Amino acid sequence: MATDNRNIHRKIGRSTTRTKCPTPFLSKTYDLLEEQEEENNNNNNIKVVSWNGEGNGFVVWCPDEFSEVMLPKYFKHNNFSSFIRQLNTYGFKKVASKRWEFHHEKFQKGCRHLLAEITRKKCEPSVFPTYLNPSKKSTLLLARNNQENTTRQLLMEENQNLKKEKMELQLQIAHFKTLEMKLLQCLSQCVENPHNKTRRLF
Amino acid sequence: MATDNRNIHRKIGRSTTRTKCPTPFLSKTYDLLEEQEEENNNNNNIKVVSWNGEGNGFVVWCPDEFSEVMLPKYFKHNNFSSFIRQLNTYGFKKVASKRWEFHHEKFQKGCRHLLAEITRKKCEPSVFPTYLNPSKKSTLLLARNNQENTTRQLLMEENQNLKKEKMELQLQIAHFKTLEMKLLQCLSQCVENPHNKTRRLF
DNA sequence: GGGAATATTCCC
DNA sequence: GGGAATATTCCC
């Protein structure tokens, strides 16, 4: 089984933006390339995987060996297609027809810090039955959905406003209570010392 | 790495209802129990996992050994918590406080055919796969609809309550204003006629 | 126990 | 290449 220290620091990344970490897939793929680069330099074996010449992408030279030997070291599988699926999820592009060469603007040799800027392509969950064609989706159901969302949105806004108004009213009441106390104090002093007219009320 | 023949027949299950198969998690967990039962019968070692006495549930007697040894044989991990997470996803219930014993109505010794009736709990409002029949679709739609109605209902109730509270607060403020006015009146009278102590304030 | 992000698989 | 189901992880 692949060792899995992933996300050991990602909790930090989730709560703050400045310390965010790349996802396990990106870190591991980068690690894999760095470590294999080491291997490639230390012997003259045929390369399995490497950065490309410009360092702005990488090439899987031997998909079979890559899948059987390297993938299980870093991931929980040995399927080339699963690896490719992940690359696609993160927006990598296959840039050659005869080689398994992939590029991503933020995936470059020597630039590990860029990894944190790579994001998964978000696929928002479809609310619509698959048997409906796109035009129907965009008219009927989308409209209905929008209407519901709008209603909820309006209710939530009204809710927020009401809470704010409530808070302001409570603040006013607090002020009135303070004022009342002071007035009563003054009154009692006034009654006790009726001649002390120089005393300032507030 | 765990061998993974999962879903080798599930494609059939996706396209028709009559030949549907249980998910890999359920099949594997069932396999695991059957195979371990064999083990338990063939030697006198301490049990790691087994069906319970009634055969209507199972017990993990040794979570550590179970996680380290058995889980990786069937799944892509060795974490007991991930296994538990899956059990919860499928609606299994922990039925003992001192043992790791789990029940599910459709998970019984000798009843592999029942597995196909177990479904994952997560009822996503997102998809209505084509293999669902109309009644199931409408059930899902209704559920989703109900969920939305409930949300709106709750928001509307909260709004009503907030409005009521606001009204009460405004009433309080009105009272405070009257009170303030009266107090100020009294004070001014008091200052003007300091000896008139018999005058009632209110 | 379960929500949600990420990973892996399956299918088109 | 990507949609979607299931699996695994992380977090509350």
In tens, the pLDDT along A150-182 reads 666 677 767 777 777 777 777 777 777 778 777
Residue B124 has pLDDT above 50, yes or no: no
Helix orientation angle between B134-192 and A142-192, rounded to the nearest 10 degrees = 20
Determine contact, residues B101/B57, Cβ cutoff 8 Å.
yes
Q: In whole angstroms, how far apart are CA A113 and each of A22, A58, A70, A148, A170?
A: 9, 17, 23, 42, 50
Per-residue confidence (pLDDT) for residue A86, from 0 to 100: 98
Q: List phi, psi (to 5°) of B69.
A: -100, -45
Mean pLDDT of A131-160: 57
Whole-angstrom distance, CA of residue B101 vs CA of residue A160: 46
Longest dimension (CA), chain A: 108
Residue A140 has pLDDT above 80, yes or no: no
Per-residue confidence (pLDDT) for residue A77, from 0 to 100: 98
Bases along strand C below 7 A from a protein CB = 1-4, 6-12
Residue A59 has pLDDT above 90, yes or no: yes
Q: For residue A88, what are the contacts with CB-CB under 8 A and spacing of at least 6?
A: A121
Encoded amino acid at A178, one letter? T
Q: List phi, psi (to 5°) of A106.
A: -100, 15
Per-residue confidence (pLDDT) for residue B50, from 0 to 100: 97
Residue A113 has pLDDT above 70, yes or no: yes
Whole-angstrom distance, CA of residue B93 vs CA of residue B95: 6
**Residues B125-146: tens digit of each pLDDT:** 433 333 334 444 444 455 555 5
Per-residue confidence (pLDDT) for residue A14, from 0 to 100: 41
The pLDDT > 70 percentage for chain A reads 70
Read off the pTM: 0.62
CA of A44 to C1' of D9 (A): 39
Residues in chain B whose Cβ is within 8 Å of chain A: 1-2, 4, 72, 76-78, 124-130, 137, 148, 151-152, 155-156, 158-159, 162-163, 165-166, 169-170, 172-173, 176-177, 179-180, 183-184, 186-187, 190-191, 194-195, 197, 201
The pLDDT > 90 percentage for chain A reads 48
- Give the N- to C-terminal CA distance of chain B in Å, as an integer: 87
Per-residue confidence (pLDDT) for residue B188, from 0 to 100: 79
- DSSP state at residue A153: H
- Reported as a pLDDT band with limits 50, 70 and 90, residue A84 is very high
Output the average pLDDT for chain B: 78
Interior/surface letters B57-87, b for 16+ CB within 10 angstroms, e for the rest: bbbbbeeeebbeebbeebbbbbebeebbebb
**Cβ A94 to strand C below 7 Å:** no
Q: H/E/C letters for each residue in chain B?
A: CCCCCCCCCHHHHHHCCCCCCCCHHHHHHHHHHHHHHHHHHHCCCCCCEEECCCCCEEEECCHHHHHHHHHHHHCCCCCHHHHHHHHHHCCCEECCCCCEEEECCCCCCCCHHHHHHCCCCCCCCCCCCCCCCHHHHHHHHHHHHHHHHHHHHHHHHHHHHHHHHHHHHHHHHHHHHHHHHHHHHHHHHHHHCCCCCCCCCC
Strands B49-51 and B57-60: antiparallel
Contact A1 B180 (CB under 8 A): no
Mean pLDDT of A96-108: 96
CB < 8 Å to A125, chain B: 124-127
Per-residue confidence (pLDDT) for residue A28, from 0 to 100: 98
Question: Which strands sit side by side in the sheet containing A49-51, from one edge to the other?
Answer: A49-51, A57-60, A100-103, A93-94
Q: List phi, psi (to 5°) of A49.
A: -155, 150
Residue B6 has pLDDT above 70, yes or no: no
Q: In whole angstroms, how far apart are CA B128 and each of A5, A127, A132, B124, B136?
A: 36, 8, 11, 9, 9
Q: Which of B149, B84, B91, B93 is nearest to B120 (CA)?
A: B91
